[in-house]
Chains A and B, each alone.
Chain A
Amino acid sequence: MSTPSGLRNDTPRDAPASACGELIVLASSAWPAGPRAALPAVPGFIVSSFSPLAAHLAELCLLQYFGSPPADPGLGRQTGVVLASTTGDIATAAEVARVVDEGRPVPPLLFYQSNQNAVAGHIAARWGLEGPVVCTIPARRGLADAMDSAALLIEGEEAAAALVILADQGRPGDSGGTPAGDSGTAMLIGPARWSLQPFGPRRDADGTPGRNQSLGES
């Protein structure tokens, strides 16, 4: 894998020692991982594939490390959530615009899911992740920028680890049908010592045994 900027290689020399420990990828997931399949629905989220995409990426990733929800409380308390998307939830925004232009009341569920925070909160609540929640629209660097956001949390000792999700929404017709074009990646990054924690089967999304990978590897 390429080295995301802003992590180990960019660690400032004068940062606290506790913030300078090597960060590794404890688990990861991707979508689509193979032949396209429908994203699992998430109760309370409608119309758009964005939140199901983010939730599915998180689920695949966290299952590898923690085995089943919730996370170990001691680790979940120190884990933040970074949800980045270069598109944002364009399907929900377009649906809200359509309903408004038709002069109809906006269904409350569209309000609740209208911001990336909503599904980030769903993930945090399901897994007991009590660290900071950060949602962004990266301009150009996608996952690398999301990693920068996570690095700021960890170096600043606001979190020990972070679930980093990049979820980009395709448009209808991008590849012939919804949710064609949806894609994303999730990584749980944290200190190397967490690789010794006896949680979960640590299997990759395809079921094979996972391998912890240093962010410094290329």
Chain B
Amino acid sequence: MADAKQGGGEPGQVVITGMSAASAFGRGTGPLLAGALSGQPAFGQVRRFGVDGRRATAAAELQGPVVLADELAAVIGAACDEAGLSPADRASAELLMALHSDAAAARDAATPAVTGSTAADVAVRTGLPEPPRVYATACVAGSTAIADGAAMIVSGRAVRVVAAAGYLVDPDSFAMFDGARVLARDGQVRPFSAGRQGLLLGDGVAAVVLESGDAARGRGARPLARLAGWGRAGDAYHVCQPSPDGRGLARAIDAALRRGRIDPAAIGYVNANGTGTSHADSAETAALRRSLGAGVDAIPVSSTKSVHGHALEASALLELVLTVLVMRAGQLPVNAGYLGQDPDCGLDLVLGSPREVPGGRRHALSLNAAFGGASTALLVAAA
């Protein structure tokens, strides 16, 4: 079996009608796609703040001064523009937002919450309703917002959801990751590779417009892709380490494929979590093999964190945007920084240069995992 179904007019269908992003490659989806396909990592010496005394010194940063609320407002606006949403459409949509803790709020004794007031401020600026909550599920916060948004659409609670997420490299998170010795001191992220040293942080701001297929068709919108499935599960294993057998992530993948009613042979690409840390990459490999079986050997895999870095709460949304972009382009981005095979990470990695999407395969998985064993899988399909 290949695809059990393709983008049609089925009830309960969730489609993506607009998206945008900002990363160290620049602002907009064009620079993100071009940067990923170039295979050239965007890492450099941190310029935004001093890193004297830190073990690691590199990150992937947007150029020039940056303000998170400005970047979020810009990507949300661009995504809504691409979707063709009117002011009324925006006002009636749901806004779900994933954010990292706010460094300024942490220094304000009167702060109401660790994420500050960014979400409410951005809502006002973009003409969207105030988000009911900020997703704080660490590195799966963005994908959790997507899964909730899709669930809201399928259940009839919402017709249209704008999911947005943002993280800009800041001194507090850099110092924390550095103190925990998880940053790569060699300045490169090498997912699934022998000799990998860890992750590097990267700016990421992204927005995606989800709609019911019926609503999108009703207003004549042309979907960019279909969110064919999603899955969430926990490891129930450890505070911060993934289960070595990848059981939580495997169950998330299983759930996404079950919801999408496809089997592994329909998957043309996996955008892996691939942080470049030792335990996480081997656990993810175990999860892929546990869920997809021998079929995983015929599925191209790469972690684009190897070029744009880890955007924490925004990483899953940035990587979803990129997954849609590369599937539409038909070109799969490389897993950069690769030095050689790690026997615990036996995957069909995209190495050297971009690869074409295997013929006839219309689905891709975007995987993420986080502290606390939280794991997510998003399944996208050609519209």
Contact = CB atoms under 8 A, between A and B. Distances in A.
Contact of B113 (A86, A110, A135): A86
A125 B136 contact: no
30 contacts: A12-B155, A87-B113, A87-B114, A88-B113, A88-B114, A90-B114, A106-B178, A108-B180, A108-B181, A110-B176, A111-B177, A114-B176, A115-B372, A121-B237, A121-B371, A124-B236, A130-B248, A132-B144, A132-B233, A133-B374, A134-B232, A135-B374, A136-B135, A137-B113, A149-B148, A152-B148, A152-B151, A152-B155, A156-B147, A158-B151
B183 to A, nearest CB: 11
Contacts of A120: 372, 374
Nearest to A14: B156
B134 interface: yes
A182 interface: no
Nearest to A89: B114
Contacts of B370: 115, 117, 133
Given A124-B235, A130-B247, 20 more contacts: A12-B155, A86-B113, A90-B106, A93-B101, A97-B103, A107-B179, A108-B181, A116-B138, A117-B370, A118-B372, A125-B236, A125-B238, A132-B144, A133-B234, A133-B374, A134-B144, A135-B135, A148-B132, A153-B151, A155-B151
State the main secondary structure of chain A at its contact with B.
mixed
A139 B177 CA distance: 28
Contacts of B138: 115-117, 135
Nearest to B115: A137
A131 interface: yes
Contacts of A158: 147, 151, 231-233, 255
Interface stretch (A25-33, A76-84, A191-199, A207-215): A76-84
A102 B133 CA distance: 32
A93, A121, A130, A171 interface centre (most CB from chain B within 10 Å): A121
Contacts of A76: 236
A138 B132 contact: yes
A84 B114 CA distance: 12
A116 B134 CA distance: 12
A156 B256 CA distance: 12
A188 interface: no
A112 to B, nearest CB: 5
B374 A121 contact: yes
A103 interface: yes
A10 B157 contact: yes
Closest 7 A-B residue pairs measured CB to CB?
Answer: A121-B372, A88-B114, A117-B372, A132-B232, A106-B179, A133-B374, A93-B106
A96 interface: yes
Interface residues of A, number: 67
A100 interface: yes
B226 interface: no
A77 B373 CA distance: 13
Measured as residues with beta carbon below 8 angstroms from the partner, the interface class of chain B is: 35 or more
Given A121-B373, A132-B374, A137 B234 contact: no
B374 A117 contact: yes
A80 B234 contact: yes
B107 interface: yes
B265 to A, nearest CB: 25
A16 B314 CA distance: 32
Contacts of B247: 130
Interface string B237-250: 11110000001100
B65 interface: no
B107, B155, B372 interface centre (most CB from chain A within 10 Å): B372
B116 to A, nearest CB: 10
B239 A125 contact: yes
Interface string B158-185: 0000000000000110011111110000
Contacts of B109: 94, 171
Interface in B18-63: 53
Nearest to B12: A14
B119 interface: yes
A158 B375 CA distance: 12
B290 to A, nearest CB: 14
Contacts of A37: none
Interface string B107-132: 10101111100011000000000111
